Chain A
Amino acid sequence: MRYDVAVIGAGINGVYTALELLDRGIEKIAIIEKNYPGSGGTFRCATGIRASFTSREHVVLMKRSIEKWKELSNRFGFPFVQGGYVWLLSREEHLRNFKEYVRFHHSLGVPTRIVDPDEIKELVPTIKTDTLVAGVHDPIAGKSNPFTALLNVLEYLKKSGVEVRYPEKAEKIIVENREAKGVLTEKERVEAETILVAAGYGSRDILSTCGVDAPINNLPKHALITEKYREVFKPLLVDWETASYMVQTVSGGFLIGAELEEEYNRPPMNRIEFLYTAVRIWSKYFDWFPSTHIIRYWTGYYVMTPDHHPILGPVKDVESLYVSTGFSGHGFMIAPAASEAVAEWIVRGKPGIREAENLTIDRFKEGRLIHEIAVFG
């Protein structure tokens, strides 16, 4: 069987792009996944969704994404809670920077706002603000459930005839006369008109099999979650001083990420200092935090590009090869918009959102890097 599109990777971006393709009338789709759907970054993510970024490309795509999150959560019956984000700032100089970001957000229609410690207390009940000078509130940001957000859509795709092949490792992208012809998996040769690489931390390796050098590096990251509790607060919190985040997920567990020094492309291991760091940071804000029970600690990768922006769209040197990867820690939140853009590109030759055109892989060779002032958490 020859497919219209073969997608490598059943993470949120591979799956959502398949959905967008199906919605555009493409029916013969295969998704090839080496482990199980969601097993890379998607199921390990922080669940947060926001548009308050510091580059035009990110803000425009993420704003579209938030619109799509609303649509998709209604259509597929999974949660999207628009509980906002709150950045906690403990230094005047950070506040100065954020004032500038807020102006930038407003210029693109994202209604962020500087809030004082009393307002933080209203947004985040029980928080202690004595170390804070101010906060920043993004009211349109939110969170979802990565498990149902992926699996509900995947179920629909399967029912609609999309072939989800797993576990099956894609080993090589077959290119003949500078045109992608198919994927050689550990099992067989899978022929397709179009190949999409949405393989997260495995993207660099699989792209290298057809001579495409993607400047991607995998940065180990750490996260933990507590047992479930009744809702205490809705927003995702970012402690700007330590670049740590905390969110009470839609299921009720407190999910925390914190920075540890790590080397690129190393298999991550659980480190006890992560637990100490996370507990130290968040016990300072919440008296009750030491009484929670941490039930899980996991590691994963941020799939980083040099300018911390994703790689989307066609590859100039190889006909019929598309890429959707390098999300640099934001693959989950951007998935609805990125998938829509890539599907449009495949079907109509243009991504729909103009800003996406700046994100092709050729920007690295051509020196058109996108500058982002801040990567959170």
Chain B
Amino acid sequence: MVLPDYRIYEHPILDFKRGRRVKFYYRDKVIEAYEGESILAALYAVGYRVFNRSPKLGLPRGAYCMIGKCSSCLSVVDGVPNTRICVEPVREGIHVEPQEGLADIRRARRQENVETIRVETDLLVVGGGPAGLKAALVAAEHGADVVLVNDHFVLGGQLVKQTHKFFGSRDYFGGTRGFRIAEMLSKKIKEYNNIRVYTNGFAYGYFKGGVVGVAVHGEHPLNLLVKAKTVIAAPGAAEKGLDFEGNYLPGVMGAGGAQTLMNQYGVRPGDKAVVIGSGNVGLIIAYQLLQAGVKVEALAEILPRIGGWFVHAAKIRRLGVKILTRHSIVRAIGTERVEKAVLQAYDEHFHPIPGTEKEFGVDLVLISIGLQPDTKFFAQAGAVMKWVPEAGGLVPIRTWGQETSVENLFVAGDASGIEEATTAFIEGEIAALSALLKLGIGGKEVEERRGKLIDFLWNEYRMAPVVRRAREGKLKVTVSEEEMEKIRIGEYT
């Protein structure tokens, strides 16, 4: 039987230089893949859509986030259950099995004794996205010893799937496409021998004494115990889900998940799509779907107006995409995957209007209704958190210098509240400069640079009307050093 092929071979912007061919086993089938692909991307490319089943009802589970933030794709890899195959690279000869609901741990392969390595460093950076990469580079430039850990096996965070050109100042890569920035920064990181990089390394906890445990997965697993004088955590964000009938069906995916498939791995996520949500992400993804050869049947926005920028909306309209404002999805229909999506009109009180259902024959429903900060690391570390809707949810309280209530633990990027890559770069840089000051490196020059940058970020960059809301959100969780001291002596709850 010939398996289908969803790999993209021609693309207006991207040129997919695929790695060496590798073969691995899925169930009893031999799957051909390319080095550098995740197991999930490789399986998706040859038509697999169901990777797991729900524990109680046995309903199908497909790809959702594609970046290790959800648990939709849990599978058994070489005898280890509950493996997120979206962040597990393909390797020659591995055996992958789907999971049927909860795993039977009794059948798990006994893990070898994993070697524990203890390292000391000036700065540990958790997360190799825009904030983390920038932080590592700035600290390294000043001579600090840096350890960078990244849960994905590729550095760059979500930059790797951004094909659009960045706006704004050249200092922060204006005019360059996101994936190119990721390439540039990753290359630069490798040039510093005072930066040690561990990819496929998951920071599992922050412990008493400033020790961070990192589980490094892969062929030679490691338990890395990093004793760092300072820690900058920039673990990013996860896509929000949406409640509607049938939302569990494979084919209902985070818009960013689809973006990972098509832009990072060159795998077409489906044939026909509806996109829910008209923020910039939704609009850009609709455009990128078209570039990847997916037909976009409609883009729905529950508000009366498009959320993202006019230029993006105009572009997809010109290409014939229907934008339905005051509409949202009410139902996805299908048995093992999405076959149809039903959109419906909503009134000004966000109630669906009967009789306005529109049915679309699609195999993709892409949810693009926003992100939520991934702040588990901070919560576990004991940082004082606050719920701020404008920032996307629960975020750590921090000083102007990005330090949390846990001394010497800094936050940067989307985990500090949802914005975009440019502010992630700036926050990463501010955090790095703050860490340098704590380390006693740089002195006055560093302090001045930090002051200027904080001023630029708050009084110039974030004053633009489109990012005002994010600025207001972040104001609610940014405090002076004195206020932070008070928070630190607050009682345990």
Report the Cα distance A252→B206, complex, angstroms: 25
A229 CA to B82 CA, complexed, in Å: 9
CB-CB < 8 A to A290: which residues of B? 110-111
Interface stretch, picked from B98-106, B266-274, B443-451, is B98-106
Closest to A126 in B: B106
Judge whether A287 and B110 touch: CB under 8 Å.
yes
Alpha-carbon distance A35/B492, docked complex (angstroms): 11
Chain B residue total in the interface (Cβ 8 A): 29
Contact with B102, one of A229, A275, A287, A294 (Cβ below 8 angstroms):
A229
What does the 1/0 interface line of B184-215 toward A look like (CB < 8 Å)?
A: 00000000000000000000111110010100
Is the CB of A316 closer than 8 A to any CB of chain B? no
Once bound together, how far apart are the Cα atoms of A272 and B205, in whole Å? 8
B492 touches A267 (CB 8 A): yes
B81–A229 CB distance below 8 A: yes
- A262-278 vs B, CB cutoff 8 Å, 1 = contact: the mask equals 00000101111001000
Cβ-closest chain B residue relative to A297: B205
Chain A min CB distance to B61 (Å): 14
- B82, A293: Cβ atoms under 8 Å? yes
Cβ–Cβ contact A272 & B108, under 8 A: no
**A232-B105, A271-B208 in contact; A291/B111 too (CB < 8 A)?**
yes
Contact of A270 among B102, B106, B382, B492 (CB under 8 A): B382
A230 and B82: CB pair below 8 A? no
In chain A, positions 37-71 with a C-beta closer than 8 Å to chain B are 39
Say if the beta carbon of B80 comes within 8 Å of chain A.
yes
Q: Could you tell me which residues of chain A, from 291 to 305, have a CB within 8 Å of some CB in chain B? A: 291-294, 296-297
* Chain B interface mostly: mixed
Report chain B residues within 8 Å CB of A294: 204
Question: Is B103 a contact of A230 with CB atoms below 8 Å?
Answer: yes
**Please, how many residues of chain A have a CB less than 8 angstroms from a CB on the other chain?**
26
| CB atoms of A229 and B105 under 8 A apart | yes
Task: Please give, as numbers and ranges, the residues of chain A lying within 8 Å of B104 by CB-CB distance.
Answer: 229-230
- Any A CB within 8 A of the CB of B493: yes
Q: Which of B79, B104, B106 has the largest number of chain A CB atoms within 10 A? A: B106
A291-B81, A291-B108 as given contacts; A252 in contact with B102, CB under 8 Å: yes
Complex interface residues of chain B between 103 and 122 (CB less than 8 A to chain A): 103-111
Least CB separation from B107: chain A residue: A288
- Choice from B105, B109, B208 contacting A230 with Cβ under 8 Å: B105
Q: Which residues of B contact A126 (CB under 8 A)?
A: 106
B457 lies within 8 A of chain A by Cβ: no
Which B positions have Cβ atoms within 8 angstroms of A?
55, 79-82, 101-111, 204-208, 211, 213, 225, 380-382, 492-493
A contact residues vs B (CB 8 Å cutoff): 34-35, 39, 125-126, 227-230, 232, 252, 267, 269-272, 275, 287-288, 290-294, 296-297
